[in-house]
Every structure is written in C-alpha cells, then in structure tokens.
Amino acid sequence: MFKRKALTLITGLALLAGLISGCGGQQEKAAEQPAAKETVVLKVGATPVPHKEILEAAKPLLEKKGIKLEIVEFTDYILPNKALANGELDANYFQHVPYLEDFSKENKLDLTYTVKVHFEPMGIYPGKVKDLAQLPEKAKIAVPNDPTNEARALLLLEKAGLIKVKPGVGLKATKQDIIENPKQLEIQELDAAQIPRSLPDVDLAVINGNYAVEAGLNAGKDALVSEDKNSEAAQTFGNIIAVRKGDENKEAIKALGEVLLSPEIKKFIEEKYQGAVLPL
C-alpha cells in the first residue's frame, strides 16, 4: 500500500513538472515571436469622382501593408487643404500642383505634395450650342471661378480659337487678360462643382475632369475641345497627393504613393474611366 502511494505521488510530481516545463517552453516561444504589427490609420480627404473611387480601389492594397485608409469626402476645393493644414487629415487627393501652390500662398499654408497620380483632361462641353461653328455672338460660356482653373479654361477657349489671351500670363490669366473676343462672348465664372448643372442655361461650359466624370461626361467622347493627353497640361495638371511639409517621408504616406502608382491602380483607372481619367 505504501509503495503504491509513493509511486502515485512520484508520478503526479513528474506530470506537474512536465506541465510547468511545457508552460515555460510555450512562454519562451511566445516571447521569441515578433509582436503583431500595429495597424496604422491614414486619413485622406478626397472629392467624390474620381479621387474617392481611386482611393477605394487602393484600400485592400494598403491593408496588406498594415494601413487602414479612412476617406473623408469633400465637395469643394477650399476645405480639403484647410483640413489638411490644421491636422484633421494626413493627406488629401483632389488637386493639381498649380492650385495647391496658389492656394497655399494665398492662405499661408505650409503644404507640399508627394506623387502625381492621374490627369483629368478639362473640356469644352456643349450646352445650348452643339457645334463651335454655330456659336452666336454674345454667347454665354461658363468657366470655373477659382483662379488656376479659370486660367486653364481661358487657355482652352483660346486653343479652340474663340478668344485670345494676353501672351505670357499663362496660369495667371483672368477675364481682364482677354485681348481678343471677336464674338463678344460672355464669360460666366461659376463654382466648378456647379458647372455641369449649368449646361442647360449656357451655350458652352468648360468643365474640370472630375466634375465631368461625376456628371457622366467623358472628355474624349463628349467634349468639343479638350486638353491633349500628351500635352504639357497632363504634367502641369496631374492630380497629386498633398501633405503637410515634413510628412513626405512618413512610412504610411510613402506607402500610399506607392500603391496609387502601382500597376493595379493603373489598370483600375484605365478600365473604369476609359480615357476620361488618365493614369500618370
């Protein structure tokens, strides 16, 4: 009887020692394994089309890099830069370099950019008039009212042979810089987002690419005249990722740029927009 109890006690102690040893081994193995990488949240402001749609396509690619993309939608060109400057956003995606530079200078914002993602050709679209040859005198033409895009619109009207702008003013051009206007065209400055809805009320309208796409218009198919995809405009007005100065080399910001320039996003842009938006 004593021998059986002693044997049972020894066996129990051996099992307990084994369990303790096993737990210690598991703890050592757990300690050897690297900690799971913490998910980084990246908050990016964007206008709906095509910027937000392109960012949505980028989400799963960023998730593979441990980055959760939160998209904040804006419907104007003013608030996204102010929200970025005051820290509400990590980046924004809606504008080209000339607009960013002009806006930053006028509002004393310390912003810069990382990559150029795509180009949206600006186009002259038919309103009441369907053919430039039939454009009457004193016709009404809607153009964006923000400085850079208004200048861009005036240069496009010049390309179409409708007006002539003072040489050398370039992206600083305003209505006051029109030196020839043989048809006495009435240039109406409107908020860029409102212009597609103004088409029934004007003879022609010069529409930014993103708002044209949003309205179901395609610069390659519907515009009477549009910016050439191989032109200097494609580089000058390439849409960018804007960030606060000093944030350009943050890992999450760099990853965002890499994903947006990836073959996967290039393919998405080409297939979805069919020339209305061009990957850079």
Q: Is the pLDDT of residue 191 over 90?
A: yes
With bands split at pLDDT 50, 70 and 90, how would you rate the model's confidence at 15?
Answer: very low
With bands split at pLDDT 50, 70 and 90, how would you rate the model's confidence at 35?
Answer: low
In 3D space, the residue among 207, 160, 149 whose CA is nearest the CA of residue 183 turns out to be 160
CB of 212 closer than 8 Å to CB of 276: yes
Q: How many C-beta neighbours within 10 Å does residue 267 have?
A: 12
CATH of 123-227, one of 3.40.720.10, 3.30.70.980, 3.40.640.10, 3.40.190.10: 3.40.190.10
What is the rounded CA–CA span in Å between residue 117 and residue 123?
Answer: 20
| 38 Cβ contact list (under 8 Å, min separation 6) | 66
Query: What's the mean pLDDT in 162-189?
Result: 95
CATH number of 40-121+235-279: 3.40.190.10
What is the rounded CA–CA span in Å between residue 14 and residue 43?
Answer: 56
Domains of the chain, residue spans: 40-121+235-279, 123-227
Handedness of CA 94, 110, 86, 255 (dihedral sign): positive
